[in-house]
Each structure stands twice: as structure tokens, then as C-alpha cells.
Amino acid sequence: MAQVARALWPVRHAVVWRLGGRPQSALPAQSRAGFAGAAGGPGPAATTRKGNPRLLGAAALALGGVLGLYHTARWHLRAQDLRAERSSAQLSLSSRLQLTLYQYKTCPFCSKVRAFLDFHALPYKVVEVNPVRKAEIKFSSYRKVPILLAQEGESLQQLNDSSVIISALKTYLVSGQPLEDIITYYPPMKAMNDQGKEVTEFCNKYWLMLDEKEAQRMYGGKEARTEEMKWRQWADDWLVHLISPNVYRTPAEALASFDYIVREGKFGAVEGAVAKYMGAAAMYLISKRLKSRHHLQDDVREDLYEAANKWVTAVGKDRPFMGGQQPNLADLAVYGVLRVMEGLEAFDDLMRHTRIQPWYLRVEKAIAEVP
């Protein structure tokens, strides 16, 4: 049961992402004959008698109003065209891919992937994996989740590791490069973790493989790109490790967490009953080891609160998201990790005792409003 629990809560899992369209910077020319006629055609100003200040002033005011209306309408038309172009381009790319996400619903790494896919309006099929038998992913030598299969024409690609998946798919969306080429930028490599266990790591996992123009269009500057990468890594290396110690903090919380895991996961009747009680007991004990391993405070809630407030401070007061007016990959990563605690005592405490709730609700709304 401990193995099942580790699979469902913060352990490094594989993820696969895919992206659907390349934003275009060029704006098509608009027909503005109506506005031009109103702004430049004959009117009261043209027939006003010379030397009448009142009539001249009124004509100037009217002309100024027409020009203001013209520029406002022109701006709206250009904005609409840009959105339409981007939506059309993304739809074109996304229509090339058929995505299947193999997941545990309560896994924070899987949640990161879903947040990304949902925010980018990318359709995907979900396969819930049985954490005991894992029969659904018997095709894969990589035995962690999430796994994303992306069918692009005759090419079938498997993407592993949540951050690699996000980076690869975002690169695909922005650049339009073939996905099979993009995946080669993130080669796997064997490494030893802190416990002396061999693990698979991926090179360049927080990098988007863009040329200078694409990077400039997306980020505007190197500082924004560096900031996004830094906080995406922070979500993986620190924030995610605060989940298990907090959701299994007490026996009652551990039981509530496993009730949630069994309810949302894919278990048989007997498996579910065993997982709920034996798993809760096992993970309550394991959470104490995790607390020591990651050098957490006696009250692990304090580490969770500090992390949330640190994130809010990094976002700042002058922008709704770290990405500015829209969530960036760091926003989606932090949101995805925290979202798996919804409905549990740890989540309610987090919302009450930190400053993160306004930001969290903004991201939730931004995802919900995606057409």
C-alpha cells in the first residue's frame, strides 16, 4: 500500500503534453473604408465659414471624436484578428495530434499536465491507471505516470516526465516544429538520487526550444524566461514535496486523503478497501520519514504556508499572474500541484492562513474561461 500511496502523491512521475498551434505575429490588413470616409470625407468642418470660432471649435471637436472612434475601432479589429489568427493556428496544430493521458487523478504531476492541456484548450483522452496492477501502461517500459501518447499522422510519440511534456508541447505550440524532432531536445539520462537509487532524469526539461524571435514574442525579455524556469523547477523540487507530509499529517487526515484517493482513482472493491485503511496507516508513517528527509518543521503546515506566501510575493502586487495578464507555465505548475489537495483539510488551511487564495482563484477562472 505504501507503493500505491507513493504513486498517487508527490513522487516524480512521467507526463506527456502536446500543444496545438503557433501564434502568429502578423496582422492582416483591415478594410477601414467606412472609418476613412467618416474621418476624411466632407462634413461640417469643410463647409464652415472662415473666421467663426464657435463653428470651428465644434467642427474640431467632432473631428476629434470621429478620429478617436476610428482608432478605438481599429484597435479592437486588430485585437480580434490576432486572437482569431492564433486560435485558428492552434486549432490547426492541435487537430494534427490525438492525445491520450495515462494518469492517477490525485497525482500532482498529472494535475500539472491537465492544467496545461486545459488552459491551452487541447482535447485529450484520459485513461485512469490502476495503481496496483498498472495494466493500462503495460505497453511502456517507463512505469511511472503521467504518460502522454501523441499520435501525429503516422508517428506515435510517448512523452515522459511532466516538465518535459509541458516544455515539449509548448515548444510545439509556439514553433510548429514536428513533435518527433522536439522530443530529441530532451534526452533521458540515468542518475543516482539522494537515496542512492538509480533514476531517470531529462536534460533541458525547463527549456522551451525556440529561436530568438519566438522567444521574444513569448517572453518579451530574458528576465521573464529565467523567472518562469526558476519557479517551474521550484514547484518540482520543493512545493510538490510538501504535499504528502501535509495530507498525511495526522491519522485522521491520512484516512481522509485515502478516502479521496480511492474515490477518485481506479480500484477494485477489495483493492479500494485495503488501500483506504492499510494505505492510510502506511502513509501516515512514511510522511514522518518524508518530513525528516526534506528537513521540514515540526508543524509541516508552516512550510506549506511559507511556500505559498513566497510564491505570492514572487508574483507581486502589480500583475495578476507571474505571466502577466495570463498564466505562464510557472503559474500552471504551481496551481496544478496545489489543486490535488482540494477538498482536504490541508487545502482549506492553506486558503485560510496564506495570501494565495486570490491568485489561485484567478488561475482557476482563467482555465475555466478557455473556450
**Positions marked active-site:** 104, 107, 109-110
Alpha-carbon distance of 198 to 345, in angstroms, equals 35
3-state secondary structure of 287: helix
Report d(CA 124, CA 214) in Å as an integer: 26
What does the block give as the cell for 366? 482563467
Q: Of the candidates 304, 283, 267, 222, which has an alpha carbon nearest to the alpha carbon of residue 230?
A: 222
Secondary structure element (H or E) that encloses residue 200, with its range: strand 198-202
Quick one: CA dihedral 131, 132, 135, 137, positive or negative? positive
297-306 long-range contacts, CB within 8 A, separation 24+:
300/242, 300/245, 300/246, 300/249, 301/246, 301/249, 301/346, 301/349, 301/353, 303/242, 303/245, 304/242, 304/246, 304/346, 304/349, 304/350, 305/350, 305/353, 305/354
Stated as kind and residue range, the H or E segment containing 147 is strand 147-152
**What is the Cα 310 distance to its own chain's centre?**
19
Alpha-helix runs per DSSP H in 192-299: 212-219, 222-237, 243-247, 251-264, 269-274, 280-293
Do residues 17 and 148 make contact, with C-beta atoms less than 8 angstroms apart? yes
Element containing residue 350 per DSSP (H, E) = helix 345-353
H/E stretch holding 80: helix 53-94
| Residue count of the chain | 371
